Amino acid sequence: MEIASHNSWSFLPVRQWWLRPFAWMARCQSLNIEQQYYNHHIRHFDLRMRFDKDGNFVACHGLVNYRGNITNDLDWLNGKVWKENPISVRILFDFRNGKNTYDEVLYTEFINYLRVYFPALTILSCRSLPEWEKLADVPDAEWEEYSASKAKPRLWGLFPWLYAKTHNKKLKTENLKLNTQNNPILLDFIQY
């Protein structure tokens, strides 16, 4: 069974000081990209981003922007790909903080940038949040999502760490039985 990490960059420090006390609600991973790759054999990454006011892309989740050099992570992952070890990244462009007129142009340029500078990575989905509109002509990720944000009751969405700690083992076991297409499963806090 293959696992995809949900909101893979959410381990990064929060940029906005006023949102730092609430970072635990937006955090879905506590391990960095290298730890996810080496320690838990993750080869499928869910990357959420938006553009800041200067046109730079930043990692994000909902209202939270993260501080970190995401180009270094993409470059590192690109260097780990070989024929028997494909790596896929699902790109979600988060418009939940609002959209400006240049975002879609920047997004198209960003996808072209990914294709040129990280050619070994398999780029998937390229959709907008919250509308789930397709923004680029790439295949969709065929992942089974079992994150806290999809759980019932919806209250689990406020506590992704607790949901993962109490549910991941069971979700992995059930998925082995039910996932006949052997699609990767998308989980919060992959270490549980």
Q: Catalogue all structural domains in the chain, each as residue range(s) with its CATH number.
A: 3-187 (3.20.20.190)
Q: What is the pLDDT of residues 35-84, one digit of tens each?
A: 999 999 999 999 999 888 787 889 999 889 999 988 999 999 999 998 78
Most distant pair of Cα atoms in the chain: their distance: 48
Left if phi > 0, otherwise alpha if psi is -120 to 50, otherwise beta: which for 18? alpha
* pTM over the 0.85 mark: yes
